[in-house]
Amino acid sequence: MKYIYNENKKGAPVFVLLHGTGGTETDLVSLAELLNPEYNVLGIRGNVQENGMNRFFKRHGEGQYDWEDLEFRGNELYAFIEEKSKEYDFKMEDTVLVGFSNGSNIAIQMMLKHPETLKKAALFAPLYPADVEDKQDFSDAEVFLSLGEGDPIVPESESKRVIRLFEERGANVTTAWVKGHSLTQDVAMQAKSWLK
């Protein structure tokens, strides 16, 4: 997997940056700098191609996930982050997942599988179009969700499903609403306040 690692302060938490469809490992670096310039940064490039665009997992169409591939890629990505945590000497518990769109979606997948280690996330424009049967314990989790009003990709009902997914499992959830499928300066500032 292609990635970047920027160490800004030894022992500081690590932002794990997960881009949206068509992005790269550097897309969210400026967001990370805004959120907290002292945190270290692990930016990862999705290794699935869709019409020449980088993604983290396959899909059959807009909002139609290849669930088998999502499961496989989620496990693969978690293992990769774990490997980097050993290489760069940070704890999985000290990571903050920062995702946009496709990156947010695989972040949710990893959190559902590893609630014991992944406890903090800022997720912009997430979509997880399935009812999850397992009742993970997210009582230690802190999640910032940026959701879109009039989002052409994520219907409002699906945004509310993501909120429920975390709230029903006991997570401490902070929500912000933006127009459309976007990551604005304003919502980035709200995420910065949340992180403090």
Active site residues: 101, 151, 181
**Dihedral sign for Cα atoms in the order 29, 153, 187, 184:** positive
- With CA atoms as reference, report the closest residue to 142 among 126, 162, 121, 127: 121
Question: What number of other Cβ atoms are within 10 A of residue 185's Cβ?
Answer: 8
**CB 47 within 8 Å of CB 1:** yes
Task: Name the residue with tokens 């490992």.
Answer: 25
* Beta carbons of 118 and 110 less than 8 angstroms apart: yes
Closest of 147, 183, 148, 142 to residue 166, by C-alpha:
142
Chain mean position to CA 65:
16
Q: Which amino acid is at 14?
A: V
Instruction: Check if the beta carbon of residue 36 is closer than 8 Å to that of residue 122.
Output: no
189 CA to centre of own chain = 17
